Amino acid sequence: MTHKRFSLPTLALGALLAFAPAIFAQVPANPPLEWGPGIKVLIVSGGGWHEFDRWFNKADSATLNAAGITSVHYTENSNTAAIEMPKVDVVIMSANDPIFDTPPFRKALFDHVGAGKGLILLHSGAWHNWGWPEYDRDLVGGRYSSHDGKGPFQEHVVRQHPVTEGLPETFGVVDETYHTVADPAGPGVDVLIEAVRGPTKYASVWVTHNPKGRIVCIALGHDGDTHNQPEFKKLLCNAVTWTAGK
């Protein structure tokens, strides 16, 4: 058996990465955000494999603004998110960066839901991003750690709900299909929309049961093919309005 040897620079890099969460946790929050009237929405995003600012910030903010939801802010800073969460009605979480795996952010997110407020886990926000079992079990409702590559498939509304109001019974999308595996130890979920790709069906939009907050998970949203789609825009606005209790 051969043993791989590590140079000092490699070991130094490893040590840096090991302490990366603690280092990133020191990043100061941005100046306080100004919130206007109406539903207050904080979009928490950032990470890899997506154009987060382009689609989850600019495109989705424009969609919400066009629907009259105008008090919307976006951040990729975990400390800013933790500070601002108590002020808002709905958090849209699409981040897949372990920078968010900090004690202040964890507490703020669960306090937000525990206060009876709204949470939307959008695309990579519903993905298994880091070793945070309570997030997967209690917020997402399961583990979603594999998916098909981007391609065309059909979305089928399988349960009538305020989140699906105004959507056609069936509509086509070009996106990724998440392989959804519900956690039997979780609070349970109600699947609202199924993705049908070939012979297989996957949960695409679901509500996670919670005794206080309202949680909607949306697996769609990889890029502009979805964010620019009228059905997705309607779905997002419905989810914000319903989770806000409006």
| One pLDDT digit (tens) per residue for the chain, 246 residues | 333 322 323 333 333 334 344 434 445 667 889 999 999 999 999 877 788 899 999 999 999 999 999 999 999 999 999 999 999 999 999 988 887 889 999 999 999 999 999 999 999 888 776 778 899 899 999 876 666 678 899 999 999 999 999 999 999 999 988 887 788 888 999 999 999 988 889 899 999 999 999 999 999 998 999 999 999 999 999 999 999 998
Residue 229 exposed, middle or buried by CB count within 10 Å (0-12, 13-18, 19+): middle
The Cα–Cα gap between 35 and 55 comes to 22
- Residue 87 located in a structural domain: yes
Position 12 in a domain? no
201 part of a folded domain:
yes
Total domains, the chain: 1
Tell me the pTM: 0.86
Is residue 19 domain-resident? no
Cβ atoms of residues 56 and 91 within 8 Å: no
Structural domain for 49, as ranges:
33-243
**What is the CATH classification number for the domain harbouring 155?**
3.40.50.880
Q: Measured between alpha carbons, how far is residue 80 from residues 36, 84, 104, 175 in Å? A: 17, 6, 10, 30
**Does 21 map to a domain?**
no
- CA 136 – CA 128 distance, rounded (Å): 7
Per the domain annotation, does 204 fall within a domain?
A: yes
Q: Is residue 3 part of a domain?
A: no
CB-CB contact of 187 with 136 (8 Å): no
The answer as to whether 60 is a domain residue is yes
